[in-house]
């Protein structure tokens, strides 16, 4: 599937017929997202406009399959986008955010000394409190608390290290719905640990059905979302 958005060609091929159906039924999705992005982009964070659009559409499409779990919400830019996508559909499932805020640091936003407080403030501002749950703890340990096949979508954007993804990905596979999706951020980012990207290539890209959604803006080269579907 190829969509035109914001003067660019936005390619989202192979991400399942469920997403295609959702887009077809909501003709004003881009307009709604533009309004959301105008506010969400003011939140400190690393998710780009086009990555956010993917999260918005996928969260709407997959929230009916189970809870949506986000690892590494930081101040909540991606969290509010996911949450608003969930609210655009009829679902009783939850947005579960997991982060160890005791170890949270930001070189890009050094003045942001309390991201947890900022996250909670943004959740409240975007009226997501009823569907929101926060686990302030190590992400891989938190994933082991959930039952099998209870998540419709899992977005992994935490430490970006080989050590962490080795623990997070198997734990995510254990709880994702058989028809759900797992997303990884910064798969090809030059600023993350090289062993992180190498492990993902060898153990995920080469073994699962994936699609890499890249923001074509040069400033964000290496960002993007790796969408993983179970074969």
Rounded Cα–Cα distance for residues 78 and 36 (Å): 11
Q: Are strands 176-185 and 151-156 parallel, antiparallel or unpaired?
A: parallel
Phi, psi values for residue 53, rounded to 5°: -60, -40
Stronger pLDDT, 113 or 138, i.e. the higher one: 138
What confidence tens digit (pLDDT) does each residue in 148-192 have? 999 999 999 998 899 999 999 999 999 999 889 999 998 887 778
Domain range summary for the chain, segments of one domain joined by +:
2-229
Long-range contacts of 192-195 (CB under 8 A, 24+ apart): 192/160, 192/161, 193/160, 193/161, 193/162, 195/161, 195/162
Judged by DSSP in three states, 90 sits in coil
> How many other C-beta atoms lie within 10 A of the C-beta of residue 202?
10
**Between the CA of residue 162 and those of 24, 75, 159, 177, 211, what are the distances in Å?**
38, 23, 9, 24, 20
Residues near 28 by beta carbon (within 8 Å), at least 6 away in sequence: none
pLDDT tier at 9, thresholds 50, 70, 90: very low
Paired tokens of 22: 């959702």
Summarised one tens digit per residue, pLDDT across range 53-93 is 989 999 998 999 999 999 999 999 999 999 999 998 888 99
Question: Is the Cβ–Cβ distance between 52 and 78 less than 8 Å?
Answer: yes
CA 176 to chain centre: 14
| Cβ atoms 58, 144 nearer than 8 A | no
Percent of the chain past pLDDT 70, that is, above it, reads 79
Q: Which two tokens stand for residue 138?
A: 């190590």
Q: Of 71, 39, 54, which is closest to residue 157 (Cα–Cα)?
A: 71
Which of 148, 133, 222 is CA-nearest to residue 184? 222
Does the pLDDT of residue 222 top 70, yes or no? Answer: no
Is the model's pLDDT at 1 over the cut of 50?
no
Report the pLDDT value the prediction gives residue 193, as an integer from 0 to 100. Answer: 78
Go through the chain and tell me how many residues it has.
231
Q: Which CATH class is domain 2-229?
A: alpha beta
What pLDDT is recorded for position 110? 54
Q: In the structure encoding, which two tokens stand for residue 70, read together?
A: 């986000």
């Amino acid at each position: 599937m190829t969509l035109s958005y914001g003067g660019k060609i936005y390619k989202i091929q192979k991400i399942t017929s469920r997403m295609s159906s959702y887009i077809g039924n909501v003709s004003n999705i881009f307009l709604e997202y533009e309004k959301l992005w105008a506010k969400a982009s003011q939140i400190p964070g690393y998710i780009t406009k086009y990555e956010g659009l993917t999260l918005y559409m996928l969260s709407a499409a997959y929230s009916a399959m189970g809870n949506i779990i986000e690892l590494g919400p930081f101040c909540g830019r991606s969290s509010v986008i996911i949450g608003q996508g969930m609210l655009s559909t009829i679902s009783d499932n939850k947005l579960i955010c997991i982060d160890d805020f005791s170890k949270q640091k930001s070189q890009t936003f050094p003045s942001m000394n309390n991201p947890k407080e900022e996250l909670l403030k943004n959740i409240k501002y975007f009226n997501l409190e009823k569907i929101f749950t926060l686990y302030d703890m190590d992400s891989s340990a938190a994933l082991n608390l959930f039952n099998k096949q209870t998540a419709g979508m899992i977005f992994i954007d935490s430490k970006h290290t080989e050590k962490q993804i080795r623990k997070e990905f198997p734990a995510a596979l254990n709880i994702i719905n058989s028809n759900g999706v797992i997303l990884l951020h910064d798969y090809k980012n030059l600023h993350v640990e090289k062993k992180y990207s190498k492990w993902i290539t060898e153990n995920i890209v080469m073994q699962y059905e994936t699609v890499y959604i890249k923001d074509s803006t040069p400033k964000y080269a290496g960002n993007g979302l790796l969408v993983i579907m179970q074969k």
